[in-house]
Structure 1
Amino acid sequence: MPDQIYLRPIGTTLSPQSEEGDCIRLAGGMAYAHRFAAILRRDGEVVERWRFTPATVDDVLGQLPDALGAEAEAQWANLRMAHPPIAMGARTVRLDQPQIMGILNVTPDSFSDGGKFLDRPEEGRAHAAAMLEAGAAIVDIGGESTRPGAPAVWEGDELERVIPAVEYCAAMGAAISVDTRRPAVMDAALHAGAHMINDVSALRHDPRSLELVAARACPVVLMHAPGAGDDLHADADYECIMLDVFDWLRERRDAAIGAGVARERIVLDPGIGFGKSVGENLALINALPLFHALGQPLLLGGSRKRMIGALSNEVPAHERLGGSLALAIAGMNAGVQLLRVHDVFETVQARNIWRGLRDAALTDFSDVPA
């Protein structure tokens, strides 16, 4: 395995003036980073680490071998990249601040709200409308549970669950994402009014998915999961969770681009909870700023996940609001652009307060007497 270089932001700040301008605006958002680590990996092991700031970046990158230097320069540019809005039909979703993706599960067995909206279109419609009114930028519709141990769903059943939900959300004018790994469901959902594909298998489950997404020219979320078959949680074996997931997402990004998917339409998701221990999930969340070096918008899906229960006396899924908000705020602080959540009203409110604090930090009141 050739040597690999990774540029990880390790110090954030509230504003440029806090560091006398020696910082960058992370991925064009509302988070700023001023300290970084260049990590050299050889044969799966981290062998060297250099710390730097924007003022000293040239000194560090200039001492790298040519091959690593080019990759490091690309990652440095990616960390500073401002992403254009995502076009979703008549709507556009800006990525210069965190946006909320509200979850609509039309399944009998999802870990949090399975069965609540299945075969109850009036309740599903009301839930979608409430999420949009609360400030969700996107509604994410899923017809298959991907929790550990969940049985695979027959394609016909998934279509019967998902398409009516897409149609009533489309009638509201919503920006719609469909959480599926089956090309037939992707195609039917896009025809019914969906705009984005959110694939937990990163377009690996069916080789036709890559061709379909490229042909339909739609935005797509590629999520990390270690399992290659029906069980997405299987085959988890990591040497360094953050770097392994980084490499995996880079490979899937490049595979999608090679298949004809436009780079500006690709969103990446580190896959919190999929084939990862509590410790590995925590390490990934702490390392979220690193993934901006891949040059794509990021999605974080930590809402009501099992790790919250594990750290909170095993509280059931519907009692994990506090933990879900803590993870959402961690994502905001890391510059994550899309937050996939169950509790839209509360998360939008938290985002708005967070945004207000960030805006206020841009005005330096340090010289104003108390």
Structure 2
Amino acid sequence: MSDYVQPLPRHESPRPDHALPLAGGRAWFTEALRHRRGAAPERIGLEEIPEETCARLSAPRAPLYGMAMDRPRLMGIVNVTPDSFSDGGAHGTAQKAFRHAQELICQGADIIDIGGESTRPGAQAVPPEAEIARIEPVVSALAGASEVPISIDTRKVDVAEAAVRAGARLVNDVSGFTYDRMLGPFCAREGLPVCVMHARGDPETMQDNPRYDDVLLDVYDFLAAQVIMLAEVGIPREKILIDPGIGFGKKIEHNLALLNGIALFHSLGCPILLGASRKGFIGKLSGGVPPAGRAPGSAAISQWAASQGVQVLRIHDVADTAQALALWHAITFNDAGGHE
């Protein structure tokens, strides 16, 4: 029977002498939940966690383009699409998308994630040529104007190739490298870091009554298998980010279970990327708030994720999230950061 180990992060000071750091960050743990299929989670101490698992849970994650992964990094979202669920195509032209990216950088974005294909529920696939026409001028202009790393949000190797030529430095694939089998080998040849996300089905059909045996463990198993696959094609674990895929083939209860247990994914030894910003379940749990009004709910999720050691937050509302995290950090660690 397989064991899955979810550390229980703590932040109090002083830290017990026997505690382990969580992924090299400021959170620590002395206990964990042991998950087994068909059984209730069981609380265990460090002495019951396998040595290899302890090593993966506690080891610092490799820096991403010079950025230490010991605190949450903000990935600002730029959708160069006419039909995005979050902004209704407000940044659908190259000029508007470029200006929006610059605004997000000024607000504190550490990474900019540019996408030219909507992946909202029900969205249809976009031909590679159209996707390239949308993203290429934005990536090129931004790469020439800023040193902030650019991520390309795509499932297609042709689009990734064009984006990398234009200046993108990370590939974020919402299909988890299952849509285009040539994308992984391309990223390996280019030495690119990647983000592998879990999705059930494709955007057009993913919300058609998704089912899981145990959503937390099912998503973990998928990501574990994809990390191994990517390593086999030449992408080392230290260059792989993992994303549980909130809202991609998940009902509200699935999203909540993944968020509640997100620390489990530290067991894979990779940085965790979370993309829950403005998602539909926030609106449903908030009384039907439309996407543009979901910044407070999105910031609440970001604070929870930060408490669980998540390293990268993919967000629309950078300024709001940065402010929320600054206050969370000051309170949690009793650290005013030099402000009087």
Q: Which residue of 2 aligns with 1:172?
A: 145
Matched with 1:65 is none
The corresponding residue for 2:26 is 30
TM-score, with length taken from structure 1: 0.86
Q: How does 1:1-370 map to 2 (within 5 A)?
A: 3-9=1-7, 11-17=8-14, 20-41=16-37, 45-46=38-39, 50-54=42-46, 57=47, 60-61=48-49, 72-87=50-65, 92-119=66-93, 121-173=94-146, 174-227=148-201, 231-233=205-207, 236-360=210-334
1:93 is displaced (CA, Å) by 2.0
> What SS does structure 2 have at the residue aligned with 1:353?
helix
- Which structure features the higher share of strand residues? 1
Q: Contact 1:201–1:222 (CA<8 Å) still a contact in 2?
A: yes
CA shift for structure 1 position 357: 2.6
C-alpha contact (below 8 Å) 1:107/1:142 kept by paired residues: yes
Alpha-carbon distance, 1:257 to partner: 0.5
Larger radius of gyration: 1
Identify if the C-alpha distance between structure 1 residues 198 and 232 changes in structure 2 by more than 3 Å, giving closer, same or farther: farther
Cα 1:220–1:169 shift into 2, 3 Å: same
C-alpha displacement of 1:229: 8.7
CA contact (8 A) 1:106 1:114 kept: no
8 Å Cα contact 1:201-1:232 kept in structure 2:
no
SS of residue matched to 1:197: strand
1:21 positional shift: 3.2
Q: Which runs of 5+ in 1 are unaligned?
A: 62-71, 363-370
* Cα shift readout 1:234-267 (whole Å, capped 9, x = no counterpart): 6832111111111110011111111111211100
Change (3 A) 1:50 1:240: same
- What letter matches 2:171 in structure 1? I
> Relative to structure 1, is the Cα distance of residues 235 and 247 closer, same or farther in structure 2, using a 3 angstrom cutoff?
farther
Q: Deviations over 1:152-203 (max 9, x none)?
A: 1111110000101101110122210010000000011011100000000111
Whole-angstrom CA distance in 1 between matches of 2:292 and 2:77: 14
Q: Is the 8 A contact 1:16 1:23 kept in 2?
A: no
How many residue pairs align between the two structures?
A: 335
Amino acid at match of 1:126: R
* Amino acid aligned to 1:324: S
Letter in 1 for 2:44: F
Q: TM-score, normalised by structure 2?
A: 0.93
8 A Cα contact 1:163 1:188, kept in partner = yes
Q: 1:7·1:76 contact (CA, 8 Å) conserved in 2?
A: no
The percent identity for this pair of structures is: 39
Q: CA distance change for structure 1 residues 309 and 50 in 2, over 3 Å: closer, same or farther?
A: closer
Sort the Cα spacing of 1:234 and 1:195 in 2 relative to 1 into closer, same or farther, 3 A. farther
| AA matched with 2:96 | E
Tell me if the contact between 1:218 and 1:265 (Cα under 8 Å) persists in the aligned partners.
yes
* SS, match of residue 218 in structure 1: coil
C-alpha displacement of 1:118: 1.6
Change (3 A) 1:138 1:314: same
Tell me which amino acid in the other structure corresponds to 2:22: L
Q: Which runs of 5+ in 2 are unaligned?
A: none
Identify if the C-alpha distance between structure 1 residues 93 and 231 changes in structure 2 by more than 3 Å, giving closer, same or farther: farther
Higher mean C-alpha deviation, range 22-31 or range 258-267: 22-31
23-32 or 242-251: bigger deviation:
23-32
Letter in 2 for 1:25: P
Cα gap change, 1:16/1:40 in structure 2, threshold over 3 Å: closer, same or farther?
farther
Q: Tell me, in whole angstroms, the C-alpha distance in 2 between the residues paired with 1:102 and 1:161.
A: 18
Distance 1:305 1:270 in 2: 14
Pick closer, same or farther for the CA change 1:235–1:278 going to 2, 3 Å.
Answer: closer
What's the secondary structure of 1:280's corresponding residue? helix
